[in-house]
Structure 1
Amino acid sequence: MKTPPIVSPQEWDAAREELLVEEKKLTRARDALAARRRRMPWMAVEKKYRFDGPQGPVSLLDLFEGRRQLIVYRAFYAPDVTTYPEGGGAYPERACVGCSFLADQVAHPAHLNARDTTLAFVSRAPQAEIQGLKARMGWELIPWYTITDDFDKDFGVDEWHGTNAFIREGERIYRTYFIDSRGDEAMGSAWSYLDITALGRQEEWEDSPEGYPQTPPYGWWNYHDAYGETTRSASAH
């Protein structure tokens, strides 16, 4: 391994400041891209999708858990899903290694919930297996449902993983964004999830359309076990 040059603290600081200029450009570009997402058109969801949950059959609307926004990740966990690397185990002990990698990164859902947003995973495996996988892998906080119809095919995730974002107006549901492939590798933090939603982080500094819910930054942040109804986004219905 050929290492970079070894320099003095002053030279290191200068090199870091030079790179920081480019990092700031990337941050501003990421914020601008999120602003464009918030101006994406919405697609009406006309079909009535059904899933199996821990307590029985549920609708797509039920997955919102009463909140305004829903993020759905299609994780590959089913009898016909190949798991790897070799020797790591197989179904039902293991899900797809990439989907498992992502599940390990998912932050506490209370922060998303405080912005009126729910995260859910969906797979083709039956609930008994899903609950066993969650317990084995420490993913108890991720709501995880069984696909029972064409939801995966209709939303571009029947052959590959992907993350769909939805919003509701009353009982009307709309698809607002979709990412897959390497777009999914950035997912896991509350910020990365909120940045793909129609309402964004809902903070006053964001470039959002007029009338979108926004509150001061920092003010709504809390410990994950200290959120209450007063911290819910102004967008709540």
Structure 2
Amino acid sequence: MSHAVVSHDEWLAARREFLKAEKRLTHLRDEVAAQRAALPWLRVDKPYVFDTLEGPRTLAELFDGRSQLIIQHFMFAPGWAQGCPSCSFMADHTDGMNLHLANHDVTMLAVSRAPLADIERYRQRMGWSFRWVSSHGNSFNRDFRVTFTPEEVASGHIDYNFGEWDETGEEWPGVSAFLKDENGAVFRTYSTFGRGVEVMMGTYAMLDIAPKGRNEAEGMEWLRRHDQYVKA
């Protein structure tokens, strides 16, 4: 690996100059966060019911006594032997975050279309503790544009990430946020798709400051489920 090697003073000067760009990014991130918080809300009136380990639960009941809910739209369809590797990479970060989110009035969990028994089998294999529920019996995934019909896939484009998407597939990732008011009404406040789901990938933030960065030749082809790295 070839890279410039300089004196201490030159290194410090370069680092100070780059700090200006980092500060611009920090300020822009704050501005975008403020715009996100100011977005209008969408009331969710559809009576979604999910299969959970505690029995059937409505969307409002998934809040688990808190006023805010974040859902990972986890790619795991009926008939799949295991969950998507990139969604699994995302989910590897959830348990650590949940310790803090719960104390900030936020419940976070995953939703997939796979039957609950398949979800639970895979969750146990991965050693995760977070709640993961099934939307197998409802239209939640379709309504949130993370599941697509064979006809949509065959058409060569799908309505994903708030626009026409030329890559196609049955399942796609996403993250959605909700608020429940004092009267029990539920509102969709935000959803993000595509590279927006990197909000869950703290590992990427650390790789970005490592000397070789993400070091990806072809997308996320380097990625393995965490119990497959040794085998790989």
Contact 2:69 2:178 in 1 (8 A): yes
SS at match of 1:20: helix
Q: Which residue of 2 aligns with 1:42?
A: 41
Contact 2:89 2:201 in 1 (8 A): no
Q: Does 1:168 align with 2:185?
A: no
Higher helix share: 2
Q: Which residue of 1 aligns with 2:196?
A: 183
Cα deviation, 1:82-135, whole Å, max 9, x if unaligned, reads: xxxxxxxxx1xx311111111112233121111111111001122222222112
Letter in structure 1 aligned against 2:42: M
Query: Distance in 1 between the 2:52 and 2:23 partners?
Result: 43
Letter in structure 1 aligned against 2:38: R
Letter in structure 2 aligned against 1:77: F
Q: Which residue of 2 aligns with 1:197?
A: none
Shift of 1:20: 1.1
Query: Distance in 2 between the 1:55 and 1:145 partners?
Result: 10
Cα deviation, 1:173-214, whole Å, max 9, x if unaligned, reads: 00001100100023156xx9xxxxxxxxxxxxxxxxxxxxxx
Q: Does 1:153 align with 2:142?
A: yes
Query: Distance in 2 between the 1:79 and 1:175 partners?
Result: 26
Query: Distance in 2 between the 1:16 and 1:22 partners?
Result: 10
Contact 2:78 2:115 in 1 (8 A): no
Compute the TM-score of the two structures, normalised by the length of structure 1.
Answer: 0.71
- After TM superposition, list the pairs within 5 Å mapping 1:48-127 onto structure 2: 48-81=47-80, 91=81, 94-106=82-94, 107-127=96-116
Q: Which residue of 2 aligns with 1:221?
A: none
Query: Distance in 1 between the 2:47 and 2:87 partners?
Result: 26
Letter in structure 1 aligned against 2:198: E
* Identical-residue share of aligned pairs (%): 43
- After TM superposition, list the pairs within 5 Å mapping 1:209-228 onto structure 2: none
Letter in structure 1 aligned against 2:118: E
Unaligned runs of 5+ in 1: 82-90, 193-237
Compare relative contact order (CA 8 Å, sep 6+) and give the higher one, 1 or 2.
1
Query: Distance in 2 between the 1:80 and 1:129 partners?
Result: 9
Query: Distance in 2 between the 1:144 and 1:15 partners?
Result: 46
Q: Which residue of 1 aligns with 2:219?
A: none
SS at match of 1:108: helix
Query: Distance in 2 between the 1:45 and 1:79 partners?
Result: 25
Unaligned runs of 5+ in 2: 148-170, 206-232
Query: Distance in 1 between the 2:50 and 2:102 partners?
Result: 21
SS at match of 2:72: strand
Compute the TM-score of the two structures, normalised by the length of structure 2.
Answer: 0.72
